[in-house]
């Protein structure tokens, strides 16, 4: 059974600081996703990571994937208030059409 663990689950930080969210998963996978969710809204896709060593960046967010360690990180650089949201990682089983297994999410609050 595929399990996905995120940590931390809650994070309060100040603007301008850097921080990293971690996502561990339990079995082999060939796709890892990061999503953002604002309160009462749907999921917004941030990154899809497909291979070992993959790194993607968009603005102040950078995601990486280590398939050997079964670990992905989402790094926030010089945080701003607009990045306050809940961030989810999700993993797809290797191959096929199976749906995603999600972590519980990291509720991020960035204070001025």
Partner 1 sequence: NAGVTQTPKFRVLKTGQSMTLLCAQDMNHEYMYWYRQDPGMGLRLIHYSVGEGTTAKGEVPDGYNVSRLKKQNFLLGLESAAPSQTSVYFCASRMHSGYEQYFGPGTRLTVT
| Interacting residue ranges for partner 1, rule: CB under 8 A | 4, 31, 33, 41-43, 45, 48, 50, 88, 90, 97-105
Asked if the bond preceding 2 is cis, omega within 30° of 0, the reply is: no
CA distance 12 to 87: 13
Please state the closest distance from residue 105 (CB atom) to partner 1, in A. Answer: 5
Q: Which is nearer to partner 1, 14 or 51 (CB)?
A: 51
Distance, CA of 108 to CA of 10 (rounded, Å): 6
Smallest separation, CB 63 to partner 1 (Å): 14
């Amino acid at each position: 059974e595929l399990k996905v663990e995120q940590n931390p689950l809650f994070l309060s930080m100040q603007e301008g600081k850097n921080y990293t969210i971690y996502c561990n998963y339990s079995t082999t996978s060939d796709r890892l996703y990061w999503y953002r969710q604002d309160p009462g809204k749907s999921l917004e896709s941030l990154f899809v990571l497909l291979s070992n060593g993959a790194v993607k960046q968009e603005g102040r967010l950078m995601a990486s994937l280590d398939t050997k360690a079964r670990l992905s990180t989402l790094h926030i650089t010089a945080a701003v208030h607009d990045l306050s949201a809940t961030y989810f990682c999700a993993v797809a089983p290797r191959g096929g059409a199976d749906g995603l297994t999600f972590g519980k999410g990291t509720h991020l609050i960035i204070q001025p």
